[in-house]
Structure 1
Amino acid sequence: MNAALVAVLLSLVSACAYAAAAVAQERLASRGVGAGALRLLASGAWWWSVALNASAALLHVVALRYGPLTVVQPLGALTLVAAVPLGARLAGRRVSAVEWRGTGLTLLGLGALLLTASGPAPDDSLSGSEALAVSGATAALIGVLAWPGARPGLRHATASGIASGVASALTQTVTVAVAERSDPLLSAQVIGVAVLVAGFAAGGLLLSQTAYRGGLGAPLAVVTLANPVAAAVIGLSLLGERLRGGPGGVLLALTGAALAAWGVVQLSRATPVQPDDAHAVPPAPAPEPDGLKTLVPRQPGPGHLTRL
């Protein structure tokens, strides 16, 4: 089977698992679970979301072995596409027209990106100094975004997406090194990069949990956009990955990215439609207590009062 096709299939399953984990995390956050690390550790439901995230991450690692970052990472946007109907079903509501429109735009944009990004299996990896430089710059940026201040949900979501994207780039370095070396598990570089991957993955998970306290749509949309952007910057600048088709391919990729971004924005702005909204009946006015008298002057003249 073609390596790129294997990467795409694995990425699709991984996105569905990530979507289920995101919905579980958001439901926990909406119930007040997740206000502190100790409460998270005591929650069985949170550990289920961790298991889902771990399974999705494992599939993602394998996908990165068969496909380049510029292919695998854009497919992560399908996490949002899968999370929308799943979250709606669990909430007992319909998916709105805006949500469906956002889903279509996202899929159309992803298709354009895949046409230009499809390439051979990765054969390059970050050097030790490059991995340290990327990790240091990422840690500093995450520290700035996680600093207390206004709109922490979107800032934490951005930090989570960046952490996950960088973890994916470092993961590809590990998988390529393991495949090409005779003693990969004993290599200090591989062990060091694997530790960095674990750190960024765990940080991204905790940051997303705090971001979902304000709801699922907007934070997950920001995570979905920040993740492939961070990975693509590393893949195109340090790993020698390229877009196909020359200037026309670049234009198509930019168009696809714009469509996907607009679709994600639509999904993040969508207002949930409750199942009975179309048949809702306004509540009846509360009856007046017995004996309540409202005195209103009659129009003909003063001195005449009526009791309603």
Structure 2
Amino acid sequence: MNQSALLAILLSLASAAGYALAAVAQSRLAAQGGGGVGQLLARPLWWWAVGLNAAGALMHVAALHYGPLTLVQPLGALTLVAALPLSAYYERRRVTRREWRGAAWTLAGLTGLIAVTGPASPGDALSLSEALAITAATALLLAFLVRSGAHSAHGGRLGFATASGVASAVASALTQTVTASLATELPSGPLTWWQTTVLTVLVATFAVGGLLLSQAAYRGGLAAPLAVVNLANPAAASVIGVALLGESFHGGPLGWLTAAAAAGVAARGVIMLTGATPAAPGAERPTTVPTTLPVTVAADLPLPTADLSLPRPADLPSPEPAVHITA
């Protein structure tokens, strides 16, 4: 193993740890009732999560500089493995076997999906019209997912997680366009200053939106929403790459079948994590009120009986005759 590959592995592991710590911090905020954006901005733990996410993103980009995508992306999926024990530690519990099995299935599916995804060739990036079209389509999709999640209790968290992953993927695609323009590698030439400014604002909007959506997804548990975020991000990036950047899955039809099978494996893992996720600290639990009171009667003990029958008229004592005294 050469020095560049080793450095890429170390940076990928550090990036996964940063993302995992950020997710745990967001989960703790959600369990404590983080509230709206204004309340989050006043919480130091929120800014720790923002800083850890930024650090994880920077180390991920640095890892891609030193190592190939096929090496860095699967290692980035270790975020889920790192987040499970960290979350359990703060919740003062142990990671269940079902959670470990769900994480293993999810990682296997995610690794298979990344392994057959072809990276963009050098210089490939979105044009301005394509970037604006993706922005509009993504905004509609996110609005649908958020609206659906607002009317659903359990499935809503996974809808928010899906929206978070999609928003992050679009932010990455737009970032690629901006960096390619600044490096004068766009096929149509560099963008103008106002075009670059517009795309930069869109990148920041989707990045912050993805962070806030993941914050909403972590209410009630961490494992399943984090798995969905990690799946939706490369899935959305693959759709953009195949549809607009000329990418494809390795191996032709076999690669497409492998990607479909990997998606099924990952979905099974998410389902297992959804069923294994314990209630978050402070979460409201349903209270059931018994409608009947249990009564236990010992069979060997005689029950006391009482004669509750009313006396018949013949059994009633006759009234004494009244005595009148006259003077």
Give me the TM-score of the superposition, normalised by structure 1. 0.77
Over 3 Å counting, the alpha-carbon distance change for 1:113 and 1:225 in structure 2 is: closer
Query: What's the CA shift string for 1:82-113, capped at 9, x where partnerless?
Result: 21121112222222111221222233334433
Percent of pairs identical after alignment?
57
Q: Partner letter of residue 22 of structure 2? A: A
- Measured in 2, the distance between the counterparts of 1:135 and 1:92 equals 42
Query: 2:152 is matched with which residue?
Result: 150
Question: Which structure shows the higher helix fraction?
Answer: 1
Query: 1:17 is matched with which residue?
Result: 18
Over 3 Å counting, the alpha-carbon distance change for 1:119 and 1:230 in structure 2 is: closer
Is residue 71–residue 117 contact of structure 1 (8 Å, CA) maintained in 2? Answer: no
Over 3 Å counting, the alpha-carbon distance change for 1:45 and 1:119 in structure 2 is: closer
Segment drifting more, 13-22 vs 247-256: 247-256
- Measured in 2, the distance between the counterparts of 1:123 and 1:9 equals 27
Counterpart selection for 1:264 from 270, 273, 291: 270
Is residue 173–residue 237 contact of structure 2 (8 Å, CA) maintained in 1? Answer: yes
Query: 1:126 is matched with which residue?
Result: 126
- Measured in 2, the distance between the counterparts of 1:194 and 1:6 equals 29
Query: 2:52 is matched with which residue?
Result: 52
Q: Partner letter of residue 170 of structure 1? A: L
Shift of 1:124: 0.2
**CA radius of gyration, larger in:** 2
Q: Partner letter of residue 35 of structure 1? A: G
Shift of 1:164: 1.0
- Measured in 2, the distance between the counterparts of 1:209 and 1:149 equals 17
Is residue 162–residue 229 contact of structure 2 (8 Å, CA) maintained in 1? Answer: yes
- Measured in 2, the distance between the counterparts of 1:155 and 1:222 equals 9
Equivalent runs, 1:262-301 vs 2, <5 Å: 262-272=268-278, 298-299=301-302
- Measured in 1, the distance between the counterparts of 2:118 and 2:11 equals 15
Is residue 4–residue 121 contact of structure 1 (8 Å, CA) maintained in 2? Answer: no
- How many residues were matched structurally? 282
Q: Partner letter of residue 179 of structure 1? A: A
Report the secondary structure of 1:229's partner residue.
Answer: helix
Query: 2:102 is matched with which residue?
Result: 102
Counterpart selection for 1:213 from 207, 212, 219: 219
Shift of 1:202: 0.5
Over 3 Å counting, the alpha-carbon distance change for 1:76 and 1:237 in structure 2 is: farther
Is residue 69–residue 232 contact of structure 1 (8 Å, CA) maintained in 2? Answer: no
Is residue 182–residue 190 contact of structure 2 (8 Å, CA) maintained in 1? Answer: yes
Query: 1:35 is matched with which residue?
Result: 35
Is residue 108–residue 265 contact of structure 2 (8 Å, CA) maintained in 1? Answer: yes
Q: Partner letter of residue 202 of structure 1? A: V
Counterpart selection for 2:182 from 178, 182, 186: 178
- Measured in 2, the distance between the counterparts of 1:70 and 1:232 equals 14
Is residue 103–residue 269 contact of structure 2 (8 Å, CA) maintained in 1? Answer: yes
Gap runs ≥5 in structure 2: 280-298, 307-327
Query: What's the CA shift string for 1:261-280, capped at 9, x where partnerless?
Result: 3223322321459xxxxxxx
Segment drifting more, 14-23 vs 40-49: 14-23
Counterpart selection for 2:169 from 153, 157, 165: 165
Over 3 Å counting, the alpha-carbon distance change for 1:68 and 1:165 in structure 2 is: farther
Gap runs ≥5 in structure 1: 274-295, 304-308
Counterpart selection for 2:228 from 216, 222, 232: 222
- Measured in 2, the distance between the counterparts of 1:54 and 1:217 equals 21
- Measured in 2, the distance between the counterparts of 1:4 and 1:119 equals 18
Give me the TM-score of the superposition, normalised by structure 2. 0.73
